[in-house]
Chain A
Amino acid sequence: MNMLRVLTFGVVALAQLGVPAAMVWQREQTLKHGRVWKFRTAPVDPVDAIRGRYIALRFAAEEFDAPEKFESGNKSAYAVLKQDKDGFAEVDHLTTRAVETDDVVPVESAWWYKGKQHVRFPFDKFWVAEANAPAGERAYVANNRRDKQNAYVTVKVRRGDAALDQLFIDNEPLTEYVRSHPSG
C-alpha cells in the first residue's frame, strides 16, 4: 500500500515538475531561436502602470488605421507583423489563420472604432523584482509620456509563440537603467 503511494507520488511529482519545466522549455526555445521584434510602448495612466510586481504595458502597434472592422467570429485572431521605417513592429493585418511563422502573434481581443482597429497583445505584463519595482515604475512612467516617448520592449516570436524579453528605457534594459539612474 505504501509502495503504491510512493509510486503514485512519483507520477504526481513528475507532473508537478513537468508543468514549470515545460514553461521553461518553450520559452527557452522562443528566446533562443525566435525573431526579435521591437514594440514601442504607448503612454498609460500612471495609476494603472504598476500592478503589484509587474508593469502593465500598452503598445503603439495596438492601434492602427483600418477602413473596416475585422470580424473573427468565434475563431482566435492573430496579428501579422511588419517593421516600420524606424525598425519598430506594427500590425500589417489581422487574420484567423493560425500560421506558425516568426511574424505572427496571437491577439487577445480586437475591436474597431471610427476607422481605427484596436487589438490587445497577450504580452502585456512585465514582471519586475520587488527591490526594483518602485524605481522601475518611476522610470517607466517618466519615459512613457506623450511628450517623452522613450521606452520599448523586445519580443521574440517563434512559430506563433511570443516571448517578452526585455523592457528598454532610453535604449537600456530596465534593470540597468534603474541602476545607472538611481534617482529615476
Chain B
Amino acid sequence: MAGVRNRWAIRWLRSQLPELVASGVITSENAQAIEHHYTDDQPRTNFAFVILATLGSALVAAGIILLIAHNWDDLSRGTRTAIAFLPLLVAQGLVVFTLTRRNESRPWREAVAIFDVAALATAISLISQTYQVQGTFSDFMRTWLALSIAIVYLLRTTFGAIAYVIGCVVWLFAAWGMFSPEGNPTLFWFLLILVIPYVAIRFRLDRNSRETGTLVIILALASLFGVGATADFANAKVGAIAYAGIATVIYLCGMKFFPQPNGRLHSLAVLGGIAIAVVTIVLSFESNWHMTTRVASVPRSSAANIAVVIELLFPITALSLIGFDLLRRRVAFSVSAAVSPIVTGLAWVIANLCELPDGRWQSTSCSFAAATVMNCYALVLGIDILARGIRTNSIARANFGLLLIAALAICRFFDSDLSFVARGIGFIIVGAGFLVANLMLFRRRAAS
C-alpha cells in the first residue's frame, strides 16, 4: 500500500506541520502522530542512490577499458587475454558476494549487475580485437544479450531489464539497418519474450512503482519498433493491421493491468491511446492502401511467413483481450479506441476487393473506400475522446480528442481535392471546437 503514496505530497505535508501547529489548526500530538504515521513510509532504498550506484559501476567499467586500451600493442597476446578476462572475473566475484551477503540490498544488486554485463562486453570485445576475430555488431549484441538475460533474474535488476530491452532494440537496428534490409527480426521477439517473466514478477510485486511503469513503457516502445521491422521483413502488406493490433494491445494492457483511481490513465494506456491515434491518422492517407499483385507473386520464404504470423498475433491478442472483458462484462476501456484492429482489418479487406493493379502501386476505388473508412473512424475516435474528456472533466483528454480531429483536418487539407472554401470552413469548425470545449471545461472546473 505504501508504494502508491505520493512521496512529494508526504514531504510537503511534513513541511507544513510546524505551521499548522503554530496556527492552532492541529495539536502538537496530532503533528507527532502524522509524523509517526509517515516514518514507516520512507522508501527502503533511496532511488537516487540506486541510480548513482548503477552509473558509478558503469563508469568504473568504462574506466578500466580505457586504461587497458592505452599502450595495448606493447602487450603480448597472452597478457592481453588475461587482462580481458580480469574485469569479468572480478565482476563475477562481486555477483557471488552480493548473492550471498548483500542479497537484500537493491543498490548492490543493480550496480553489480551492470558491472557484470559491462565486464562481459569488455571481455568479448577485447578478445575480438586481440585475436582479430571478425564479425558484425549484431553478432556481438546477440551474444551479449543471450549471456546477460540470466543476470536480470538472478540479481532482480529492473535497470538491467530496461537496459536489456534497449539492447534488443539496438540489435534489431543493427540487424535490420539501412545496410541490411533483409535482416530477420524473429530473434528480436524471442529475445524480448525472455524478459516477459521478469516483467510479470515486477508486476506481481509492485505494479504501481515507477520502475515497473518505466519497464513496461520501454517494452511497449520496443514492441512498436519490432512490429515495424517485422512488417518490413514479412513484406505481406498486413503491417497496418499489425500496427493497429499492437497499439490496441498496449492501450488495453494499460487499462486492464494498471487501473488508476479517479479516472486517471496509466502512462502505458496513454502511450497505447497515442499509438492508436497515430496509426489511424497514418492509415487515413489513401496512398497507404494502394495494393498490388506484386507482393502476392513474390516467392515466400518460411522465415517471412513466420514474420506474418507474428504480425497477426497482435490483432488476435487485442481481440482476445476485448472478448475476454466483454464476456465478463467488465468493459473499462474506450470501445471506440479498442475496435481499431477491427476497423483497420475491414479497411484492409475493402482495399483488396478490387482487381489489383499489376506491379505498380496505384489508386483504385477500393483504396479510396478503405481510406474513407479510416477517415470516418478517426473522426468518430476524436469525437468520442473529446466527449469522454468533457464527461470526466479531463482537459488533457478533451484536447487530445480535438488534436486528433485537427490532425485529420490538416492531413486532408494537404492531400484532398476539397475547395479552399470547404477547407477554410473545416478549419474554422475545428478551431471553434477547441475554444468551446476548453471554455466549457474551464468553466465547469471553476464552478466545482
**A and B pair up:** yes
User: Residues of A with Cβ closer than 8 Å to B?
Assistant: 2, 5-6, 8-9, 12-13, 15-17, 19-21, 23-24, 27-28, 31, 53, 122-132, 163-165, 175
Closest chain A residue, CB of each to CB of B89: A17
Residues of A within 8 A of B151 (CB): 12
Label chain A's interface by main secondary structure. helix
* Pairwise interchain contact B123-A20, C-beta atoms closer than 8 A: yes
In the bound assembly, the distance between CA atoms of A37 and B287 in angstroms comes to 56
Residues of B within 8 A of A123 (CB): 132, 134
CB of B324 to closest CB in A, whole Å: 34
Q: A5-B103, A23-B124, A131-B73 are in contact. List 12 more A-B contacts (CB 8 A).
A: A6-B100, A12-B147, A15-B147, A17-B92, A19-B143, A21-B85, A23-B128, A31-B131, A129-B69, A129-B73, A130-B70, A131-B71
A and B contact pairs by CB, cutoff 8 A, 29 listed: A5-B103, A6-B100, A9-B92, A9-B96, A9-B99, A9-B154, A12-B147, A12-B151, A12-B154, A13-B95, A16-B123, A17-B85, A17-B88, A20-B88, A20-B124, A21-B85, A23-B127, A23-B128, A24-B81, A124-B134, A125-B134, A127-B128, A129-B69, A129-B71, A129-B72, A130-B69, A130-B72, A131-B73, A165-B132
* Pairwise interchain contact B73-A132, C-beta atoms closer than 8 A: yes
Residues of B within 8 A of A28 (CB): 131
Residues of A within 8 A of B64 (CB): none
Residues of B within 8 A of A15 (CB): 147
Closest chain A residue, CB of each to CB of B101: A2
* Pairwise interchain contact B150-A8, C-beta atoms closer than 8 A: yes
Query: Chain B, 96-138, contact with A by CB distance < 8 Å: what is the 0/1 string?
Result: 1001100100000000000010001001100111111110000
User: Is residue B219 contacting chain A, with contact meaning CB distance below 8 A?
Assistant: no
CB of A81 to closest CB in B, whole Å: 17
In the bound assembly, the distance between CA atoms of A124 and B72 in angstroms comes to 21
Given contacts A2-B99, A13-B95, A129-B73, contact A20 B134 (CB under 8 A): no
User: Is residue B216 contacting chain A, with contact meaning CB distance below 8 A?
Assistant: no
User: Residues of B with Cβ closer than 8 Å to A?
Assistant: 69-73, 81, 84-85, 88-89, 92, 95-96, 99-100, 103, 116, 120, 123-124, 127-134, 143, 147, 150-151, 154
B132's partner among A13, A131, A163 (CB-CB below 8 A) is A163
Residues of B within 8 A of A2 (CB): 99-100, 103
In the bound assembly, the distance between CA atoms of A32 and B316 in angstroms comes to 56
A9's partner among B95, B123, B132 (CB-CB below 8 A) is B95
CB of A57 to closest CB in B, whole Å: 10
Residues of A within 8 A of B69 (CB): 129-130
Residues of A within 8 A of B131 (CB): 23-24, 27-28, 31, 163
Label chain B's interface by main secondary structure. helix
In the bound assembly, the distance between CA atoms of A28 and B130 in angstroms comes to 11
Closest chain A residue, CB of each to CB of B66: A130
CB of A51 to closest CB in B, whole Å: 11
Closest chain A residue, CB of each to CB of B149: A12
CB of A11 to closest CB in B, whole Å: 8
* Pairwise interchain contact A19-B147, C-beta atoms closer than 8 A: yes
* Pairwise interchain contact B134-A164, C-beta atoms closer than 8 A: yes
Residues of A within 8 A of B99 (CB): 2, 5-6, 9
CB of B263 to closest CB in A, whole Å: 41
In the bound assembly, the distance between CA atoms of A8 and B70 in angstroms comes to 36
Residues of B within 8 A of A8 (CB): 150, 154
* Pairwise interchain contact B134-A131, C-beta atoms closer than 8 A: no
A12's partner among B89, B134, B150 (CB-CB below 8 A) is B150
CB of A167 to closest CB in B, whole Å: 9
CB of B350 to closest CB in A, whole Å: 38
Residues of B within 8 A of A124 (CB): 134
In the bound assembly, the distance between CA atoms of A20 and B116 in angstroms comes to 14
* Pairwise interchain contact B73-A13, C-beta atoms closer than 8 A: no
CB of B383 to closest CB in A, whole Å: 53
Residues of B within 8 A of A122 (CB): 134
Residues of B within 8 A of A127 (CB): 128-130, 132
Residues of A within 8 A of B96 (CB): 6, 9
CB of A88 to closest CB in B, whole Å: 19
* Pairwise interchain contact B132-A126, C-beta atoms closer than 8 A: yes
Closest chain A residue, CB of each to CB of B72: A129
CB of B401 to closest CB in A, whole Å: 48
Closest chain A residue, CB of each to CB of B126: A20
CB of A172 to closest CB in B, whole Å: 13
Given contacts A6-B99, A122-B134, contact A20 B84 (CB under 8 A): yes
CB of A152 to closest CB in B, whole Å: 15
